[in-house]
Amino acid sequence: MYQIVEEAAEKIRTMEVRGAARIAKFAAETLKKFAEAVESNFDENMNKAAEILLNTRPTAVSLYNAINYVMRYEGENDAEKRENAVKRAEEFIRWVETAHERIGKIGARRIRKNSVVMTHCNSSAALAVIKEAFREGRVAEVFATESRPRLQGHLTVRELSNAGIPATLIVDSAVRYFIEDVDYVVVGADTITANGALINKIGTSQIALAAKEARVPFMVAAETYKFSPKTLFGELVVIEERDASEVAPPEILSLKGVRVRNPAFDATPREYIDVIITEIGAIPPEMAYLVIKERLGYAVFEEGELKI
């Protein structure tokens, strides 16, 4: 029974399943399968399964939100709990599946005809905006960064090519060189904090800096399950640091006195973000608190009592 969860966890850890939205959907699908397979002690087994999935990658809050959503199941007995957990998993999966279409439509409206867009890494939400904008004649060309060390930019240009969208692949360090040729930056999100900061693939904050300097609007495409309730409770986002072997070959790693670091994400302060495109609207980063409170249903105080 636990094989379902262990195998899924390994796929997330090794990045066979990657990207915040895909990870979240995959976690909900896995919990659904697991719930269907659990024969007894439903709560205990579900809690263990949730824990295993949660401990795979620390940064994208979508994983936490997906698991939490399913784990808020209710019921008088195991059968009722199972039914409710499966229903909640299906609801969450539908949330992931429907958000992109709305984000695409809303985001595309912000882009003027024949624009050049730059994107970073491989974000399904950012690509939803870019593809819809292309269909509407708003995007003419896309600059995609390579996104070292895992080269998610290759996935992006493949996807753009399949959609018939003219694309230019550049190395990450060429962002400032090309930013003058760009009308908008559109990126995805792993996490949006309660104070409106964006946590996304390493290098995102450098692009935001270059965009601000060149007065290029910086747009974030983020489903509301990318907003972090944990940050409302004061927690800091954990930035995943992956193995140094992803960055440099053994002969470099073995050099005396040389350390190789490989943080996978960075933080972009809200001052650099023009708009966050969510499935419930185009909002300023300052509204992150409201999304966490109203949409995700979290609050530090409930009926006057401190909840944490």
Active site residues: 121, 190
Question: In this structure, what DSSP letter does residue 214 have?
Answer: T
Does residue 188 interact with ligand RUB by CB under 6 A?
Answer: yes
Joined tokens for residue 243: 């193995």
Beta-sheet strands, E only, within the chain? 115-119, 139-145, 167-170, 184-187, 191-192, 198-201, 218-221, 265-268, 275-278, 281-283, 301-302, 305-306
Interface with ligand RUB by CB under 6 A: which range of 69-77, 110-118, 187-195, 271-279?
A: 187-195
* Shortest Cβ 278–ligand RUB spacing (Å): 12
Interface with ligand RUB by CB under 6 A: which range of 67-75, 81-89, 119-127, 295-303?
A: 119-127
Q: Which residue is nearest to ligand RUB (CB)?
A: 188
* Shortest Cβ 240–ligand RUB spacing (Å): 8
Strand partners, 16: none
Alpha helices in 163-291 (DSSP H): 175-178, 204-213, 229-232, 250-253, 288-290
* Shortest Cβ 191–ligand RUB spacing (Å): 9
Question: Given the complex with ligand RUB, which of 45 and 204 has the nearer CB atom?
Answer: 204
Candidate residues 145, 152, 228, 231; the one interacting with ligand RUB per rule CB under 6 A: 152
Q: What span, in angstroms and rounded, lies between the C-alpha atoms of 227 and 250? A: 38
Joined tokens for residue 283: 């909002």
Question: Given the complex with ligand RUB, which of 123 and 268 has the nearer CB atom?
Answer: 123
* Shortest Cβ 43–ligand RUB spacing (Å): 30
Candidate residues 50, 89, 99, 121; the one interacting with ligand RUB per rule CB under 6 A: 121
Does residue 144 interact with ligand RUB by CB under 6 A?
Answer: no
Interface with ligand RUB by CB under 6 A: which range of 44-52, 86-94, 175-183, 184-192?
A: 184-192
Interface with ligand RUB by CB under 6 A: which range of 15-23, 74-82, 105-113, 293-301?
A: 15-23
Instruction: Give the position of tokens 């974030």.
Output: 220
Side chain identity, residue 220 = V
> Do you know the residue count of the chain?
308
Does residue 65 interact with ligand RUB by CB under 6 A?
Answer: no
State the burial class of residue 104 (Cβ atoms within 10 Å of its Cβ: 0-12, 13-18, 19+): buried
Three-class SS state of 168:
strand
Enumerate binding residues for ligand RUB (CB under 6 A): 18-21, 60, 121, 123-125, 152, 188-190, 200-201, 264
